[in-house]
């Protein structure tokens, strides 16, 4: 293996990465028919572990599909804009983009509601928007402005929306999963129903704290859906080079699990609806979303040293989540191509407006350095960089 | 493939667990619920041991507020390895006295997640040293979430447990975590030392909306004393005046308070009049009490169990020199533990930490040796 020349090595890596993870250049399932406004289709089969799969026959109305299209397209344009802003140095630091993976969060939110809790990793811009946040809040936060989701103090990896039970955003790989178990514990403690969703990637799946969380959740039958967004690469390391068993939906061992085509919003919606029903009645379940990110791990990673450009473009041509929904609508006569173009135009205007507003938004004042350190104001002073500088804790 | 089997989810966490694992509660005869720790409305001060005082404070706060819960290893059915939660699971159930598996990183993160939703969890480290496994959760999530979320989330947690050097417990069970945690922004560090302040500070810590790291000491659980009457809560940010004096200020906290007072008994006979201040609040320091005392005595000695390198005393010494330099007649003397792992052997362990003789020597050094000593 080590003796292979660079090109051959990369080619073999690409093919093996996809094959080993179960990702393939498969297409989508077939459309079964349209009746009035309702489309019925078959999604790709679910792989299951200790549980029966849900039906692969799904239905969606024209209105739903148009909404999914709008949501998917909005997320895509937002992330592409972030790419451009980053290259223009309006966004600094770490920036992990979600383009390619949009169907996961859109399908999840189609099945769940904002009384369910969710926590995810640093790849959280799309999650913030789908939890009721605005594109402005995301872009402004990326640009470090006070109109941002965390007043400019969090940055890309730290977006939150308390009123809709979005608990962030997390900088350290995998550390959000025990927090997710805590969210599920709170659901059970309070007895108000609902589930907690704890999302992590294929890289994080090898963290010990995830297994600690699995054990506790299963021990106490917590209403938790653990979700591995498997985009097949942990930064530059393909899943088969990091995981002895890349069948992440089986890693819960005693817990049931299901692998789902994460590029198909209807399959994702079906999987989450099924998982929520299961989790509320019985206890935790693991979902693995077979998905893909077009960008590298972050803006610092070109994303092409460990996978081939062919692989990336093939997925884009054959499995793009937005194009899939476009085809469902247009090929089945539910919408005209021009209708969808109009939506695209509206979304572009929305994004452009948000960018302009973010660029004009204020930077945090100097005094914000000392706020939100403690919830309870201690009424004490904090010593500054020089010993005779003092600031009040707030 | 087996169909999904709906499992009867018990109303109490414990019922499903007990049914499946066959875990048993301790037999009734072995459960020691002290008569003295029944919560009463008595106005007199009552004498009890520190573990009972902590238990009483915990019981009162759990009764007062249904969102308060305790999680950790053996806190439920076993009653806590130092009896701080003895028998409470019978009153409050298994969900509120949650026995966790041995996974500090996991259950501390779980506590933070629960706190973000509005619960008030107390997470117990069976020994504070074990919480090193959870350092990321304590620093990044517990300490920083309030800030990184722009103030949206608060983390009203108490992280408590015993630390410090015990009796020949070996290096890994004798650590002083206050050294390591002191730089974490967004947390408060509190160290208890007496029966009275243990209960009163625990009540305050539970009620605080800030994350509090609450240091108990392995050797102080059986110390006897009186608790304050009624619902008394002690301020988390104030130092305690242990003994007013004029010659020198001795700063201490936790078990070193007793080491210092042992030295003071001898120093009094020698004609010295030291002022002793128990820091209580290790982060932030109570600079008001500290500077008032130094301005009076003009000499300061710090007695800590932390190691010389990077301890609480190192921070305090720097702060005193920087802000009170002209009030000092002598540089601050800092008595700390040796920068070594704590030995198992009795004499070596004793030589690792500060003993009363060293405190006496330090006072002689800053105050001068009195005639007749």
Distance from the B285 Cα atom to the nearest Cα atom in chain A, whole angstroms: 9
Residue B162 domain flag: yes
Q: Which residues of B touch A182 (CB under 8 A)?
A: 109-117
Do residues A127 and A137 make contact, with C-beta atoms less than 8 angstroms apart?
Answer: no
What residues in B contact A281, CB-CB < 8 Å?
6, 9
Last residue of a domain, one of B205, B227, B249: B227
Residue A7 lies in a domain: no
With respect to residue B20, please indicate whether it lies within any of the assigned structural domains.
no
Chain A partners of B291 at a C-beta cutoff of 8 Å? none
Same-domain pairing of A380 and A254: no
- Contact between chains at B4 and A119 (C-beta distance less than 8 A): no
Q: Considering the entire predicted model, what is its pTM?
A: 0.87
Residue of A189, A192, A371, A377 to mutate for B, most B C-beta atoms under 10 A: A189
Indicate if B174 and B293 belong to the same structural domain.
Answer: no
Domain shared by B164 and B256, yes or no: no
Q: Are A188 and A284 in contact (CB under 8 A)?
A: no
Max intra-chain CA distance, chain B: 89
The verdict on B218 and B250 lying in the same domain is: no
**pLDDT beyond 60 at A35:** yes
Question: Which pLDDT belongs to residue A390?
Answer: 67
Could you give the number of structural domains in chain B? 2
Same domain assignment for residues B157 and B247? no
**Under 8 Å CB-to-CB from A69, ≥6 apart: which residues?**
A322, A325, A326, A329, A340, A343
**Sorting pLDDT into bands at 50, 70 and 90, what band is A30?**
confident
Inter-chain touch A215–B210, beta carbons under 8 Å: no
Determine the structural domain holding residue A375 and report its residue range. Answer: 366-393
Q: For residue B210, which residues of chain A lie inside 8 Å, CB to CB?
A: 374-376, 378
Q: What is the pLDDT of residue B6?
A: 30
Q: What is the pLDDT of residues A342-391, one digit of tens each?
A: 999 999 999 999 999 999 999 999 888 888 888 877 776 666 666 566 66
Residue A213 C-alpha, separation from nearest chain B C-alpha, in angstroms: 6
**Contact state of B103 with A180 under an 8 Å Cβ cutoff:** no
Whole-angstrom distance, CA of residue B215 vs CA of residue B192: 6
The CATH number that applies at residue B113 is 3.40.50.970
**Domain annotation covers residue A25:** no
Please check whether residues A246 and A358 belong to one and the same domain.
yes
Average pLDDT over residues A201-227: 97
Classify residue A4 as left (phi > 0), alpha (psi -120 to 50) or beta.
beta
Per-residue pLDDT band at A27 (split at 50, 70, 90): confident
Taking the CA of residue A61 and the nearest CA in chain B, the distance in Å comes to 29
Same domain, A224 and A101: yes
Nearest-CA distance A391 → chain B (Å): 13
CB-CB under 8 Å, B103 with A209:
yes
Q: Does residue B7 sit within a domain?
A: no
Q: Is B214 in the same domain as B267? A: no
Same domain, B188 and B258: no
Residues B47, B171 within the same domain: yes
With respect to residue B18, please indicate whether it lies within any of the assigned structural domains: no
Average pLDDT, consecutive stretches of 10 residues, N- to C-terminus, chain B (373 residues): 33 34 35 44 74 98 98 95 96 96 96 98 96 96 95 96 94 94 96 98 97 98 96 96 98 98 97 98 95 98 96 96 96 96 93 96 94 58
Where does A282-362 have alpha helices with state H?
Answer: 309-319, 321-331, 337-360
Residue B77: inside a domain: yes
Quote the pLDDT of residue B371: 62
Confidence tier at A19 by pLDDT (50, 70, 90): very low
Q: Please tell me the predicted confidence (pLDDT) of residue B44.
A: 59
Domain end among B171, B196, B227: B227
Strands A390-392 and B212-217: unpaired
pLDDT by residue (tens digit) across A164-186? 999 999 999 999 999 999 999 99
Are A189 and B69 within 8 A, CB to CB?
yes
Residues 6+ apart with CB under 8 A from B147: A153, A372, A373, B185, B186
Q: Is the pLDDT of residue A239 over 90?
A: yes
B150·A278 Cβ contact <8 A: no
Question: Using a CB-CB distance cutoff of 8 angstroms, which residues of chain B are in contact with residue A175?
Answer: 109, 136-137, 140-141
Q: Do B284 and A215 touch (CB under 8 A)?
A: no
Same domain, A333 and A378: no
Nearest Cα residue in chain A from B103: A212
CB–CB contact A175 B136 (8 Å): yes
Name the closest residue on chain B to residue A150, using Cα atoms: B150
Residue listed under structure tokens 């592409």: A80
Chain B interface disruption, residue of A46, A186, A195, most B CBs within 10 A = A186
Domain boundary among B227, B261, B284: B227
Per-residue confidence (pLDDT) for residue A384, from 0 to 100: 66
3-state secondary structure of A41: strand
For the annotated catalytic residues of B, the residue numbers are 104, 173
> What pLDDT is recorded for position B56?
98
Shared-domain flag, residues A144 and A50:
yes
CA separation, residue A292 to residues A97, A201, A233, A289 (Å): 11, 11, 9, 9
Out of B109, B208, B284, closest to residue A182 by CB: B109
What secondary structure does DSSP assign to A116-158, as a single string?
Answer: SEEE--S--HHHHHHTT--HHHHHHHHTT-TTSTTTTSS-TT-
Residues A134 and A247 in one domain: yes
Element of type H or E holding A71: helix A62-87
Do B272 and B360 lie in one domain? The reply is: yes
CB contact under 8 A, A178 and B16: no
Smallest CA–CA separation between B44 and chain A, in Å?
Answer: 31
Q: Are residues A348 and A378 in the same domain?
A: no
Mutate to test the interface with B, among A178, A273, A277 (most CBs of B within 10 A): A178
3-state secondary structure of B56: helix
Inform me whether the pLDDT recorded for A98 exceeds 70.
yes
Higher pLDDT: B304 or A7? It is B304
A205 and A136 in one domain? yes
Tell me which residue in A282, A376, A387 faces B7 most closely, judged by beta carbons.
A282
- Domain count across chain A: 2
Mean pLDDT over all residues of chain A?
91
Q: Do B141 and A175 touch (CB under 8 A)?
A: yes
CA distance A346 to chain B (A): 30
Q: Does residue B23 form part of some domain?
A: no
Residue B8 lies in a domain: no
Tokens matching residue A368? 């914000």
Among B73, B147, B237, most A C-beta atoms within 10 A, so best to mutate, is B147
Is residue A5 assigned to a domain?
no
Same domain membership, residue A382 and residue A335: no
**In the block, which residue shows the tokens 């009040």?**
A392
Per-residue pLDDT band at A204 (split at 50, 70, 90): very high
H or E element that contains A38? strand A38-42
B145 and B211 belong to one structural domain:
yes
- The closest CB to that of B148, out of A50, A153, A278, belongs to A153
For residue A180, the chain B residue with the least C-alpha distance is: B113
Among the partner-chain residues A154, A256, A283, the one whose CB lies closest to the CB of B149 is A154
Instruction: Please check whether residue B283 is in contact with residue B210, taking contact to mean a CB–CB distance below 8 angstroms.
Output: no
Cβ atoms of residues B299 and B331 within 8 Å: no
Q: Which of A153, A180, A190 sits opposite B150 (nearest CB)?
A: A153
Chain A residue numbers touching B326 (CB-CB < 8 A) = none
Q: Are B289 and B277 in contact (CB under 8 A)?
A: yes
Centroid of chain to Cα A189: 27
Residue B212 sits in the same domain as residue B322: no
Q: Return the CATH number at A296.
A: 3.40.50.970
Q: Best of A132, A182, A367, A390 to disrupt the B interface by mutation (most B CBs within 10 Å)?
A: A182
- The per-residue pLDDT for A12 is 46
Cross-chain Cβ contact B148/A387 below 8 Å: no
Report if residue A23 sits inside a domain: no
Does A325 share its domain with A372?
Answer: no
What's the pLDDT at A387?
Answer: 59
**Radius of gyration of chain B, Cα coordinates, nearest whole angstrom:** 22
B162 and B303 assigned to the same domain: no
Tell me, yes or no, whether A152 and A289 share the same domain: yes
**Same domain for A181 and A113?**
yes
Here the CATH number for the domain that contains residue B269 is: 3.40.50.920
* B131 and B194 part of one domain: yes
Does any domain span residue B373? no
Contact B110/A185, CB-based, under 8 Å? Answer: yes
For residue B66, the enclosing domain spans: 42-227
């Amino acid at each position: 293996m080590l003796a292979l020349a660079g090109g051959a090595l990369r080619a073999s890596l690409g093919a093996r990465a996809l094959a080993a993870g179960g990702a393939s250049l498969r297409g989508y399932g077939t459309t079964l028919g349209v009746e009035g406004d309702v489309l019925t289709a078959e999604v790709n089969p679910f792989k299951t572990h200790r549980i029966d799969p849900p039906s692969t026959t799904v239905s969606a109305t024209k209105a739903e599909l148009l909404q999914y299209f709008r949501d998917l397209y909005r997320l895509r344009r937002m992330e592409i804009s972030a790419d451009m802003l980053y290259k223009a140095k309006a966004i600094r630091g770490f920036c992990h983009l979600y383009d390619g993976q949009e169907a996961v969060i859109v399908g999840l939110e189609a099945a769940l509601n904002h009384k369910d809790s969710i926590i995810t990793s640093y790849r959280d811009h799309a999650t913030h928007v789908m939890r009721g946040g605005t594109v402005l809040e995301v872009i402004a936060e990326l640009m470090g402005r006070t109109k941002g989701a965390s007043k400019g103090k969090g940055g890309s990896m730290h977006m939150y929306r308390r009123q809709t039970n979005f608990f962030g955003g997390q900088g350290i790989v995998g550390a959000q999963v025990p927090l997710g178990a805590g969210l599920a514990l709170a659901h059970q403690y309070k007895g108000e129903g609902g589930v907690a969703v704890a999302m992590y990637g294929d890289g994080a799946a090898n963290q010990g704290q995830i297994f600690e969380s699995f054990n506790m959740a299963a021990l106490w039958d917590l209403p938790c859906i653990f979700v591995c967004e498997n985009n097949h690469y942990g930064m530059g390391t393909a899943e088969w080079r990091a995981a002895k068993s890349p069948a992440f939906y089986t890693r819960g061992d005693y817990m049931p699990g299901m692998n789902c085509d994460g590029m198909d919003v209807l399959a994702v919606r079906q999987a989450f609806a099924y998982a929520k029903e299961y989790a509320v009645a019985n206890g935790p379940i693991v979902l693995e979303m077979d998905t893909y990110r077009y960008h590298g791990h972050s803006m610092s990673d070109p994303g092409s040293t460990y996978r081939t450009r062919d692989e990336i473009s093939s997925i884009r041509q054959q499995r793009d989540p937005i194009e899939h929904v476009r085809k469902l609508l247009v090929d089945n006569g539910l919408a005209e191509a021009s209708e969808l173009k109009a939506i695209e135009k509206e979304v572009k205007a929305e994004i452009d407006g948000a960018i302009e507003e973010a660029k004009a938004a204020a930077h945090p004042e100097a005094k914000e350095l000392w706020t939100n350190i403690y919830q309870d104001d201690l009424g004490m002073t904090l010593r500054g960089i020089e010993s005779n500088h003092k600031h009040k804790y707030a | 493939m087996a169909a999904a089997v709906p499992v009867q989810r018990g109303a109490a966490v414990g019922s499903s667990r007990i049914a499946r694992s066959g875990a048993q509660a301790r037999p009734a005869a072995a459960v020691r619920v002290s008569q003295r720790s029944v919560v009463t409305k008595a106005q007199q001060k009552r004498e009890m041991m520190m573990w009972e005082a902590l238990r009483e404070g915990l019981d009162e706060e759990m009764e007062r507020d249904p969102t308060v819960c305790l999680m950790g290893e053996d806190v439920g059915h076993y009653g806590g390895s130092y009896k701080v939660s003895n028998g409470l699971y019978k009153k409050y159930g298994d969900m509120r006295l949650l026995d966790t598996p041995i996974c500090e990183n996991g259950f501390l993160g779980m506590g933070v997640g629960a706190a973000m939703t509005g619960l008030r969890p107390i997470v117990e480290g069976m020994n504070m040293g074990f919480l090193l496994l959870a350092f990321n959760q304590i620093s990044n999530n517990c300490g920083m979430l309030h800030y990184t979320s722009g103030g949206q989330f608060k983390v009203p947690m108490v992280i408590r447990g015993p630390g410090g050097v015990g009796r020949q417990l070996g290096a890994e069970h004798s650590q002083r975590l206050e050294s390591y945690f002191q730089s974490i922004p967004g947390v408060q560090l509190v160290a208890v030392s007496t029966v009275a302040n243990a209960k009163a500070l625990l009540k305050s810590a539970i009620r605080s909306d800030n994350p509090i790291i609450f240091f108990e000491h392995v050797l102080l659980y059986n110390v006897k004393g009186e608790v304050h009457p009624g619902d008394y809560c002690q301020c988390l940010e104030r130092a305690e005046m242990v003994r007013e004096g004029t010659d020198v200020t001795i700063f201490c906290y936790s078990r070193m308070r007793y080491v210092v007072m042992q030295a003071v008994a001898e120093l009094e006979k020698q004609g010295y009049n030291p002022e002793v201040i128990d820091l209580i609040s290790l982060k932030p320091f109570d600079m008001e009490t500290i500077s008032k005392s130094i301005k009076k005595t003009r000499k300061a000695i710090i007695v800590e169990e932390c190691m010389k390198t990077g301890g609480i005393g190192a921070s305090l010494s720097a702060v005193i020199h920087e802000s009170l330099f002209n009030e000092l007649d002598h540089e601050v003397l800092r008595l700390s533990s040796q920068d070594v792992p704590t030995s198992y052997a009795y004499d070596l362990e004793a030589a690792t930490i500060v003993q009363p003789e060293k405190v006496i020597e330090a006072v002689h050094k800053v105050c001068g040796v009195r005639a007749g000593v």
